[in-house]
């Protein structure tokens, strides 16, 4: 009886910890199908977490906070997209810079402010099924998605057919930013109810790991998110259940799991062929 | 009124003239051949037409109206369509998805499939709309390209070297479709090629480009292969294979002797199944087949880029440990790979560095003086024309880059020399030069394996021809007895 209760608690908390990852993974999945690998998911989530708490605190409305988070994420995506797919700066360099910038900026801003803690608001969880379905439909059924996939697999072919490769990738990054922002905002106002320094703590990287774990398929990507979310929940629950384990090891568990997933899946899966490669129209 | 008229089209890249005052008239209902050797300016001209390149001067008229395409999409809107050979289909997508790519509006799968089906029937281009492009043969992909292009209803259809990936049967099928397109639908077709026999067989009129200028125009029926060859190159060419002709009299076979210098047994790798072949000292063995039948994979294995799943390679009778990088080279195998820039040279490094890359010595410090001297000797011996040995390799012409690769590979005195598509992209002079060197290598007792998709090159050089189809060796013939028809049958047999 007690065990069942505990299990239920862990599962519920696992679901709540999966949700931020799952929102962001929907975005990152779509972006990677378009061939753009952005490690700035971390920046999108962290920036959104901060701005959602700030705006929700100021307006008193969780909805406005979430919207602010999505906007912040999309803005990050816009910056990334223009740097990487208009100016063709290496996408990893852009991602690293954005991650460092947002971490520094939010740490700086939090130092001067105090956010009151607010009760968590879990209703945005209900948005998740809709977002998953919409992402699937966009990628697999819409013309936009078909063009995204073409751009991710064979940008030259797409270009010759008259598709604007850079534009599609920038659009994919906007979508990714908005959803990663929703994920980060949910983590802050939905789950925790306040903002701490570096509160996403590498969740953006877990999202990328989940997409790879999922072999660039949406369903499996979400399974990956659930695995990481449950690992996180267990980490929080085990001490309370009286199990004593090395706490550092526990904190590292989701990341170790991600590393393991990489080792097992990263090389075997069929990735979009142009993933992470900038597209520049070639001379003859 | 001509469907397409070009007047005085000029394009320069710095001091290099790609096209100089080119005039061209393409009429409705004709197949117009655009002939020229590599680097003559054919592709530049077409890139200008398609809006992939801007012209420095000149006018383009479509049905008498001046036009300028700023992008391929605008070219389509102007009724100019191009069938690309590479890079224009997205492999993981299905046929119907590829065909509708670039349209606008809602996706309607059943309608797209019906449309493709209808076009298949009309043009005699059988293809399954639901098939994934990656699973299709080269010939089938070409059909998809044609359907995709014809669906946009172009008045002018451009094909750039369309037969390089096709078997003879597939080429014949393509030309039959083109005939139908011009006869019954009144479209104009521009066929770009460097193959003389193709131009004489398939076109109504022909325009010859040489070094960016139009040097000859004629009705195809009023000229012949010899005349076209002379116009294309600007002089008489003795080496028929270099201008894409089958030599009238096969050369006397070299004396192949002794045990095989190269012996491949049961070689299996992605794209290759149980390849067996032997090359003896003093002979040139040709490996012929349509592009994409495993030649690239075999080349990768022989470069040491791919470790095969099964099978052995012996050089001079000694098995080579293929897992060790550089093992084949150390065993005495020189290779001129198909894609120079991917596997043979470092374009940004100097000519000298590229020449001596495989001969750096074993000491910690490089003996720069010795390397320089060696580079100078090799450049002189192989006639490498470069502004300076310190210039980056990328500044050299294709022919000279190929000379650098050949010089380096031969400088180690290999027992075996493997060449994959060695004259692709080379002008006729450079191709002649290369062919002559190969004959001399074989004469001096080297074992030469020539991997080529050009039947003329194989028949012109090889003593023995092996045919590769679908990653297997489909047959072997003595060159003196082989005919294009026989080879064509072996090539098609493996694929079908």
A284:B44 CB<8 A? yes
Domain end (from B198, B220, B236): B236
Whether B478 is in a domain gets the answer yes
B107:A162 CB<8 A? no
Distance of alpha carbon B339 from alpha carbon B291, whole angstroms: 13
- Comparing CA positions, the residue from A35, A226, A32, A218 lying closest to residue A137 is A218
| The residue to which tokens 């997205």 are assigned | B90
B90: nearest CB among A157, A270, A284: A157
- Residue A43, class by beta-carbon neighbours within 10 Å (0-12 exposed, 13-18 middle, 19+ buried)? buried
Distance of alpha carbon B114 from alpha carbon B337, whole angstroms: 43
**CA closest to B71 among chain A residues:** A162
| Same domain assignment for residues B165 and B289 | no
Distance of alpha carbon B122 from alpha carbon B108, whole angstroms: 21
Chain B partners of A150 at a C-beta cutoff of 8 Å? Answer: 90, 93, 101
| Same domain assignment for residues B91 and B26 | yes
Res. B51 pLDDT band, cuts 50 70 90? confident
Task: Check CB contact of A150 with chain B, cutoff 8 Å.
Answer: yes
pLDDT score at A283: 46
Q: Where are the alpha helices (DSSP H) in A39-142?
A: 41-59, 62-85, 91-112, 127-141
A149:B89 CB<8 A? no
Q: Which candidate in B102, B110, B147 is best for mutational testing of the A interface (most A CBs within 10 A)?
A: B102
- Comparing CA positions, the residue from B26, B24, B86, B78 lying closest to residue B50 is B78
The tens digit of pLDDT for each residue in B369-405 reads: 999 999 999 999 998 888 889 999 988 888 889 999 9
Chain A, 22-81: which have a CB under 8 Å from a chain B CB? none
| Same domain assignment for residues B295 and B424 | yes
Chain A partners of B92 at a C-beta cutoff of 8 Å? Answer: 149, 153, 270, 273
| Same domain assignment for residues B43 and B153 | yes
| Same domain assignment for residues B11 and B95 | yes
Chain B partners of A141 at a C-beta cutoff of 8 Å? Answer: 107
Whether B190 is in a domain gets the answer yes
Chain B partners of A147 at a C-beta cutoff of 8 Å? Answer: 101
| End-to-end Cα, chain B, rounded Å | 44
pLDDT at B298 over 90: yes
Res. B253 pLDDT band, cuts 50 70 90? low
pLDDT at A122 over 60: yes
Average pLDDT value for chain B:
88
Task: Check CB contact of A162 with chain B, cutoff 8 Å.
Answer: yes
- Comparing CA positions, the residue from A127, A268, A264, A118 lying closest to residue A194 is A118
Whether B44 is in a domain gets the answer yes
Task: Give CA angle at B399 (B298, B199), nearest 5°.
Answer: 80
Task: Give CA angle at B88 (B83, B94), nearest 5°.
Answer: 110
Res. B341 pLDDT band, cuts 50 70 90? confident
| Same domain assignment for residues B192 and B313 | no
Determine the structural domain holding residue B224 and report its residue range. Answer: 4-236
Token pair, residue A242, equals 């009286």
Distance of alpha carbon B427 from alpha carbon B385, whole angstroms: 14
| Among A95-99, B203-207, B398-402, the least confident range | B398-402
Is B209:B215 a contact under the CB 8 Å cutoff? yes
Res. B2 pLDDT band, cuts 50 70 90? confident
| End-to-end Cα, chain A, rounded Å | 72
Which domains can be identified in chain A, with CATH numbers?
2-114+122-265 (1.10.3470)
A157: nearest CB among B53, B88, B103: B88
Res. A282 pLDDT band, cuts 50 70 90? low
Chain B partners of A152 at a C-beta cutoff of 8 Å? Answer: none
Domain end (from B236, B253, B276): B236
Q: Which candidate in B101, B141, B144 is best for mutational testing of the A interface (most A CBs within 10 A)?
A: B101
pLDDT at B477 over 90: no
| Same domain assignment for residues B81 and B135 | yes
Q: What is the mean pLDDT of residues A75-98?
A: 94
* 3-state per-residue secondary structure call for chain A: CHHHHHHHHHHHHHHHHHHHHHHHHHHHHHHHHCCCCCCCHHHHHHHHHHHHHHHHHHHCCHHHHHHHHHHHHHHHHHHHHHHHHCCCCCHHHHHHHHHHHHHHHHHHHHHHCCCCCCCCCCHHHHHHHHHHHHHHHHHHHCHHHHHHHHHHHCHHHHHHHCCCHHHHHHHHHHHHHHHHHHHHHHHHHHHHCCCCCCCCCCHHHHHHHHHHHCCCCHHHHHHHHHHHHHHHHHHHHHHHCCCCCCHHHHHHHHHHHHHHHHHHHCCCCCCCCCCCCCCCCCCC
Task: Calculate the alpha carbon distances from B11 to A201, B34, B160 in Å.
Answer: 56, 17, 19
CA dihedral (A20, A25, A31, A37) positive or negative: positive
pLDDT at B91 over 80: yes
pLDDT at A24 over 60: yes
Provide CB contacts within 8 A for A259, sequence distance 6+. none
Q: Residue B387 in 3-state DSSP?
A: coil
A143:B93 CB<8 A? no
Whether B82 is in a domain gets the answer yes
pLDDT at A1 over 60: no
Phi, psi at B59, each rounded to 5°? -125, 145
- Comparing CA positions, the residue from B477, B457, B4, B41 lying closest to residue B240 is B457
Calculate what percentage of chain A has a pLDDT beyond 70. 97
- Comparing CA positions, the residue from B63, B80, B266 lying closest to residue B189 is B80
| Same domain assignment for residues B276 and B149 | no
Q: What is the mean pLDDT of residues B110-130?
A: 93
pLDDT score at B494: 45
Whether B485 is in a domain gets the answer yes
| The residue to which tokens 């047999």 are assigned | B493
Res. B161 pLDDT band, cuts 50 70 90? confident
pLDDT score at B87: 61
Average pLDDT value for chain A:
89
Task: Calculate the alpha carbon distances from B408 to B57, B196, B324, B356, B460 in Å.
Answer: 42, 33, 21, 6, 25
| Same domain assignment for residues B207 and B311 | no
Res. A253 pLDDT band, cuts 50 70 90? confident
Chain A, 222-281: which have a CB under 8 Å from a chain B CB? 270, 273, 281
Total domains present in chain B: 2
Domain end (from B166, B201, B236): B236
Task: Calculate the alpha carbon distances from A103 to A40, A69, A173, A254, B344 in Å.
Answer: 11, 15, 20, 21, 44
| Same domain assignment for residues B68 and B197 | yes
Calculate what percentage of chain B has a pLDDT beyond 90. 45
**How many angstroms separate the CA of residue B90 from the nearest CA in chain A?**
6
Distance of alpha carbon B7 from alpha carbon A284, whole angstroms: 23
B87: nearest CB among A142, A157, A270: A157
pLDDT score at A72: 97
| Same domain assignment for residues B50 and B134 | yes
Is A189:A66 a contact under the CB 8 Å cutoff? yes
Q: What is the mean pLDDT of residues A237-263?
A: 79
pLDDT score at A284: 41
Whether B180 is in a domain gets the answer yes
For strands B447-452 and B4-13, give the pairing. Answer: unpaired
Token pair, residue B35, equals 């002939």
pLDDT score at B252: 60
Provide CB contacts within 8 A for B222, sequence distance 6+. none
pLDDT at A113 over 80: no
Whether B351 is in a domain gets the answer no
Can you give the CATH number for the domain in which B308 is found?
Answer: 3.40.50.300
Phi, psi at B464, each rounded to 5°? -140, 140
Distance of alpha carbon B225 from alpha carbon B243, whole angstroms: 10
Res. A266 pLDDT band, cuts 50 70 90? low
pLDDT score at B155: 93
B102: nearest CB among A141, A163, A273: A163
Q: What is the mean pLDDT of residues B152-181?
A: 87
pLDDT at B406 over 80: yes
**How many angstroms separate the CA of residue A270 from the nearest CA in chain B?**
10
Strands (E), B105-204: 156-160, 188-193
Torsion of CA B184, B185, B191, B196, to 10 degrees: 10
pLDDT at A100 over 90: yes
Distance of alpha carbon A273 from alpha carbon B111, whole angstroms: 29
Q: What is the mean pLDDT of residues B460-464?
A: 90
| Same domain assignment for residues B32 and B99 | yes
Calculate what percentage of chain B has a pLDDT beyond 70. 97
């Amino acid at each position: 009886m007690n065990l069942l209760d505990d299990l239920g608690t862990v599962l519920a908390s696992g679901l709540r910890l999966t949700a931020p990852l799952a929102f962001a993974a929907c975005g990152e999945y779509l972006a990677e199908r378009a061939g753009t690998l952005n490690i700035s998911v971390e920046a999108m989530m962290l920036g959104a977490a901060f701005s959602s708490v700030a705006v929700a605190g100021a307006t008193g409305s969780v909805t406005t906070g979430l919207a602010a988070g999505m906007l912040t994420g999309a803005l990050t995506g816009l910056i990334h997209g223009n740097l990487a797919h208009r100016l063709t700066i290496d996408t990893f360099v852009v991602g690293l810079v954005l991650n460092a910038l947002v971490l520094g900026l939010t740490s700086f801003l939090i130092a001067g402010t105090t956010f009151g803690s607010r009760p968590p608001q879990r209703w945005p969880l209900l948005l998740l099924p809709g977002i998953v379905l919409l992402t699937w439909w966009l990628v697999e059924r819409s013309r936009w998605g078909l063009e995204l996939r073409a751009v991710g697999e064979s940008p030259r072919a797409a270009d010759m057919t008259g598709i604007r490769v850079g534009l599609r990738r920038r659009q994919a990054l906007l979508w990714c930013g908005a959803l990663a922002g929703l994920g980060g905002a949910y983590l802050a106002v939905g789950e925790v109810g306040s903002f701490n320094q570096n509160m996403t703590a590498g969740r953006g990287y877990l999202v990328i790991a989940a997409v790879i774990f999922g072999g660039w398929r949406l369903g499996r990507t979400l399974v990956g998110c659930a695995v990481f979310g449950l690992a996180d929940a267990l980490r929080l629950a085990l001490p309370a259940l009286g199990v004593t384990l090395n706490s550092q090891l526990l904190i590292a568990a989701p990341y170790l799991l991600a590393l393991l997933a990489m080792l097992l899946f990263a090389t075997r899966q069929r990735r979009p062929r142009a993933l992470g490669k900038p597209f520049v129209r070639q001379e003859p | 009124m001509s469907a397409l008229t070009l007047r005085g089209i000029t394009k320069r890249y710095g001091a290099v003239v790609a096209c100089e005052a080119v005039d061209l008239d393409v009429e409705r209902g004709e197949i117009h051949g655009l002939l020229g050797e590599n680097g003559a300016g054919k592709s530049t001209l077409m890139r200008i037409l398609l809006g992939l390149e801007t012209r420095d001067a000149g006018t383009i008229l479509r049905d008498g109206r001046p036009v300028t395409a700023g992008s391929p999409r605008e070219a389509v809107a102007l009724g100019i369509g191009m069938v690309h050979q590479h890079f224009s289909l997205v492999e993981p997508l299905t046929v119907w998805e590829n065909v509708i790519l670039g349209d606008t509006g809602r996706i309607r799968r059943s309608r797209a499939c019906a449309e493709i089906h209808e076009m298949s029937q009309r043009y005699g281009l059988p293809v399954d709309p639901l098939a994934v492009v990656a699973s299709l043969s080269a010939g089938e992909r070409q059909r998809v390209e044609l359907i995709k292009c014809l669906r946009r209803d172009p008045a002018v259809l451009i094909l750039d070297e369309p037969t390089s990936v096709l078997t003879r049967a597939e080429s014949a099928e393509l030309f039959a479709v083109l005939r139908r397109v011009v006869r019954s639908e009144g479209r104009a077709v521009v066929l770009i090629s460097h193959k003389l026999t193709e131009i004489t067989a398939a076109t109504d009129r022909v325009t010859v480009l040489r070094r960016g200028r139009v040097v000859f125009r004629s009705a195809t029926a009023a000229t012949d292969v010899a005349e076209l060859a002379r116009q294309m190159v600007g002089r008489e060419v003795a080496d028929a294979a270099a201008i894409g002709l089958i030599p009238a009299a096969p050369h006397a076979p070299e004396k192949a002797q002794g045990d095989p210098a190269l012996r491949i047994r049961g070689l299996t790798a992605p794209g290759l199944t149980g390849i067996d072949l032997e090359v003896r000292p003093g002979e040139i063995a040709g490996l012929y087949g349509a592009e994409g039948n495993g030649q690239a994979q075999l080349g990768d294995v022989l470069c040491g880029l791919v470790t095969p799943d099964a099978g052995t390679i012996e050089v001079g009778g000694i098995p080579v440990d293929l897992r060790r990088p550089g093992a084949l080279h150390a065993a005495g195998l020189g290779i001129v790979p198909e894609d120079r820039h991917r596997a043979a040279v470092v374009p940004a490094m100097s000519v000298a560095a590229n020449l001596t890359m495989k001969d750096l010595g074993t000491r910690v410090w490089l003996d720069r003086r010795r390397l320089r001297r060696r580079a100078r000797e090799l450049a002189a011996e192989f006639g490498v024309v470069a502004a300076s040995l310190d210039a980056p390799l990328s500044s050299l012409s294709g022919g000279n880059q190929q000379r650098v690769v050949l010089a380096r590979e031969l400088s180690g005195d290999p027992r075996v020399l493997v060449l994959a598509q060695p004259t692709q992209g080379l002008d006729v002079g450079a191709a002649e030069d290369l062919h002559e060197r190969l004959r001399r290598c074989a004469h001096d007792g080297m074992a030469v394996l020539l991997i080529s998709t050009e039947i003329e090159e194989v028949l012109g050089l090889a003593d023995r021809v092996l045919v590769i189809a679908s990653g297997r060796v489909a047959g072997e013939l003595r060159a003196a007895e082989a005919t294009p028809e026989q080879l064509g049958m072996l090539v098609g047999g493996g694929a079908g």
